[in-house]
């Protein structure tokens, strides 16, 4: 279990307990947190679950696959700390994770 803080673009914060094994995307979508669309449900096919990972956590969220890297390359407003949240698996090690959302996923 990890407590994850999702911060919408307008600053609205959602603190959610997310079960291990789910993805950061699923933690948001299953709790109706707005701002992460995840149109493809986690297949790394759409780049609509884009988040910015808080600087303190960048090393702990795993490496980007070539597919994720390539999809992100064409998303809007990408920063060095951008990730597709469907590709980050939740574990105890991510307890306290903070992610921010871009203005739009489309």
Site for other proteins, rule CB under 8 A: 22, 26, 29-32, 34, 37, 39-47, 67, 70-71, 73-75, 106
Map residue 15 onto helix, strand or coil: strand
Instruction: Report, in Å, the least distance between residue 56 CB and other proteins.
Output: 28
Among residues 30 and 60, whose Cβ is nearest to other proteins?
Answer: 30
Among residues 26 and 98, whose Cβ is nearest to other proteins?
Answer: 26
Instruction: Report, in Å, the least distance between residue 3 CB and other proteins.
Output: 18
Exposed / middle / buried, residue 87 (Cβ in 10 Å: 0-12, 13-18, 19+): buried
- Tally Cβ neighbours within 10 Å of residue 9: 13
């Amino acid at each position: 279990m990890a407590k994850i803080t999702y911060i919408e673009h307008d600053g609205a914060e959602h603190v959610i307990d997310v079960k291990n094994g789910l993805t950061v995307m699923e933690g948001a979508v299953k709790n109706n947190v707005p701002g992460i669309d995840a149109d493809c449900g986690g297949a790394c096919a759409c780049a609509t679950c884009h988040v910015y990972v808080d600087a303190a956590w960048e090393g702990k969220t795993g490496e980007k696959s070539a597919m994720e890297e390539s999809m992100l390359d064409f998303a809007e407003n990408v920063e060095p700390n951008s990730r597709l949240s469907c590709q980050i698996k939740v574990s105890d090690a991510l307890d306290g994770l903070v992610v921010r959302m871009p203005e739009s996923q489309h």
